[in-house]
Amino acid sequence: MKAYQIETILSSNRKQKPVTEQLEFGTIFTDHMFIMDYSVERGWHDPRIIPYQPISLDPAAMVFHYGQTVFEGLKAYLSKDGEVFLFRPDRNFSRMNQSNARLCIPPIDEELAVEALKQLVKIDQDWIPKAEGTSLYIRPFIISTAPHLGVAPSESYQFIIILSPVGSYYKEGIHPVKISVEQNYVRAVAGGTGEAKTGGNYANGLKAQEEAAKLGYSQVLWLDGRENKYIEEVGSMNVFFKINGEIVTPALNGSILQGITRDSIIQLLKHWNIPVIERRISVEEIYQSYREGLLEEAFGTGTAAVISPIGEFLWKGEKLVVNSGEVGQLTRELYDTLTGIQNGTKEDPFGWRVQLR
Amino acid sequence: MKAYQIETILSSNRKQKPVTEQLEFGTIFTDHMFIMDYSVERGWHDPRIIPYQPISLDPAAMVFHYGQTVFEGLKAYLSKDGEVFLFRPDRNFSRMNQSNARLCIPPIDEELAVEALKQLVKIDQDWIPKAEGTSLYIRPFIISTAPHLGVAPSESYQFIIILSPVGSYYKEGIHPVKISVEQNYVRAVAGGTGEAKTGGNYANGLKAQEEAAKLGYSQVLWLDGRENKYIEEVGSMNVFFKINGEIVTPALNGSILQGITRDSIIQLLKHWNIPVIERRISVEEIYQSYREGLLEEAFGTGTAAVISPIGEFLWKGEKLVVNSGEVGQLTRELYDTLTGIQNGTKEDPFGWRVQLR
């Protein structure tokens, strides 16, 4: 392990911490942030922890015009014994570098990023809420800052990490959501940026989400961009189905995000000797399974909700109710186990949990 | 015409103007900018012209994370008699509102935007360079500013216009570029954001452009995302072909940008009674035309270059040289006529030119 020099300037003006019961997602931020600059001449330089503060950019900064950005999302948890745990943070920075490669952003030093994250969380660890289901959401991101309107990769960047205490995703216990199968809009296509965690993918999805919400559905099920037949993701999560005792999830194909929760669920299922298959899945197949009474459970996976049970799909005007609209047994076991590994109440046979010391 | 109240605060610290011969594209900005805010409570409000200055945003501002942005590009020209002309500015703000609708950004008042643009250009009109081929590039853009990490439309925005004096796109006269037909990457797909002028489309295209540049090609020819067969755009321009005396260009299909230069070229050709057809065009058809000696000319159209003649296509390892790599006669006539209409040296039968008074 290399020793990294990260300068730290502590805030002299600490903010008041929020009431845990009132916490929403991503609206309150802690006292400090990590920041590091990139220039062509110096590469990534000046890693530092500073008081949380506004970013000041020239109006011509490329991030405002050409969307050359990437981001990540992960969480820190406080155990009942006061330990602080991160969940697989190395995977986030490795994925960030994959996103960087697609977006022509210079790669970061992944070890430095993990180290910076640990130091930052340590400084602001009093911000991690204690109640069950709460956590400290961590948002690393890179923006292109060169004040230049030519369409070309930026010559300067900032890599920033901010922290936000978040409430339980399920305030009244884990419950299923209703999902509309998207027929008009497309999230990503082979050859595009679907596999990268970049802003444009999320801006693209807003319209479909808005239209689904009008019909009373909380997210959309995205189909592939070439044939509009094969299932890709649900909202901004990966998706799993339990069909006749077997778990299936869309295989990574270049336009699907390589979810870290997705990977953890697959490993957990294999550990339990439950059959799990990554393959191409058509929406027609899901419909047939449903008609034959074989569609037993469905859920999304992602950092924010961890597991999001799906109680209904709307497809071509027909409502496909899954497991009587209740949380499936396996879905609940996966949720309980994975959140238990994350917050330290359950054994971690995979070595995913990283304790802050 | 409504009367708009646009507050103006003039800069007391004017910058030195650049030497025209050293002008590049989009690196130098004038003394002032236009800015207007949006909030859910007040709608778009406080339109104002202020000294050019940095934008200060919370690190959680949505533009840094989810790419909810739109932009436009147009130019102001100085005639030999000292008149200042804009080119079809109403079309840019009408297209901006189409982009806004796709990106879930609240619409702007198009008349106010044109009026604000006129007032801003008037204040900074001494920045418009005089030499032939030079102009003042105008960049209106909207960014999402709410400090909120939830994936949903922002609750606040800024609409900004900045101005940049730009040199002639063709420093040594109009000349053809070499284009590589893109086989791996896809710019846009039906159901995506291809028709909107939003950052993600441009971030997406950087990688393909970088790889084409390594092979000595300045831009790529984008094919459709569904079948990878049909021609969509070239780099960040629309594309036209002259085949056996007839002009063809890809029909607008939802994933192609509705170029204002594209529209002007089509109207100009119709005005000249030259056959011009908007339809689906496969790259195979272009290849066959080339083999039969019928591919006479090819060019891209966009605000920056106006017309960009294409001298060669690289497709599956084969070099398709167009018109011996020279600028075609019709391409040159279109360039001379359209730039003449824009800068006031030629008659404008369409009423496209808008004089600043």
What does the pLDDT read at residue A145? 98
Residue A171 has pLDDT above 80, yes or no: no
Q: How confident is the model at residue A33 (pLDDT cuts 50, 70, 90)?
A: very high
Residue A239 has pLDDT above 60, yes or no: yes
What does the pLDDT read at residue B132? 87
Write down the ipTM of this complex.
0.97
Name residue B242's amino acid: K
Q: How confident is the model at residue B169 (pLDDT cuts 50, 70, 90)?
A: confident
A300 touches chain B (CB under 8 A): no
A60 touches chain B (CB under 8 A): yes
Share of chain A above pLDDT 90, in %: 94
Share of chain B above pLDDT 70, in %: 99
Nearest to B70 by CA among B115, B111, B23, B38: B38
- Sign of the Cα torsion B107, B111, B114, B117 reads negative
CA distance A327 to B278: 52
The beta-carbon neighbor of A66 closest among B151, B184, B202 is: B202
What does the pLDDT read at residue A146? 98
Q: Averaged over A63-80, what is the pLDDT?
A: 97
Contacts of A54 in chain B (CB under 8 A): 56-59
Residue B198 has pLDDT above 60, yes or no: yes
Q: How confident is the model at residue B21 (pLDDT cuts 50, 70, 90)?
A: confident
Strand, helix or coil at A284? helix
Q: Longest Cα pair distance anywhere in chain A, in angstroms?
A: 64
Residue A104 has pLDDT above 80, yes or no: yes
B229 touches chain A (CB under 8 A): no
- Sign of the Cα torsion A282, A236, B154, A36 reads negative
Residue A1 has pLDDT above 70, yes or no: no
The beta-carbon neighbor of B57 closest among A55, A205, A236 is: A55
What does the pLDDT read at residue A2? 64
Contacts of A203 in chain B (CB under 8 A): 66-69, 103, 193, 198-200
Strand, helix or coil at A61? strand
Tell me whether residues B64 and A55 touch, CB distance under 8 A: yes
Q: Establish, for the pair of chains A and B, how many residue pairs have beta carbons separated by less than 8 Å.
A: 232
CA distance A107 to A112: 12
What does the pLDDT read at residue B285? 98
Domains of chain B: 7-166 (3.30.470.10), 177-343 (3.20.10.10)
Q: How confident is the model at residue B2 (pLDDT cuts 50, 70, 90)?
A: low
Share of chain A above pLDDT 70, in %: 99
What does the pLDDT read at residue B4? 80
Q: Averaged over B171-198, what is the pLDDT?
A: 93
Q: Averaged over A323-342, what is the pLDDT?
A: 97
Contacts of A206 in chain B (CB under 8 A): 66, 68, 103-104, 151-153
Residue A296 has pLDDT above 90, yes or no: yes
Cβ proximity of A181 and A310 under 8 Å: no
What does the pLDDT read at residue B33? 98
Q: Averaged over A162-188, what is the pLDDT?
A: 91
Tell me whether residues A192 and B185 touch, CB distance under 8 A: yes
B51 touches chain A (CB under 8 A): no
Cβ proximity of A185 and B189 under 8 Å: no
The beta-carbon neighbor of B199 closest among A26, A200, A225 is: A200
What does the pLDDT read at residue A168? 81
Contacts of A198 in chain B (CB under 8 A): 67, 200, 203
Tokens of A187: 């999230």
φ, ψ for residue B172 (rounded to 5)?
-115, 40
Residues 205-224 on A with a CB inside 8 Å of B are 205-207, 209-210
Residue B193 has pLDDT above 70, yes or no: yes
A80 touches chain B (CB under 8 A): no
B236 touches chain A (CB under 8 A): yes
Q: Where are the alpha helices (H) located in chain A, listed in sequence order?
A: 89-102, 110-123, 199-214, 260-271, 283-291, 329-343
In angstroms, what CA-CA distances link A196 with A72, A89, A163, B345? 10, 17, 22, 48
Q: pLDDT by residue (tens digit) across B90-104?
A: 999 999 999 999 999
A67 touches chain B (CB under 8 A): yes
The beta-carbon neighbor of A143 closest among B24, B64, B186 is: B64
Mean pLDDT, chain A, as a whole number? 96
Q: How confident is the model at residue A169 (pLDDT cuts 50, 70, 90)?
A: confident
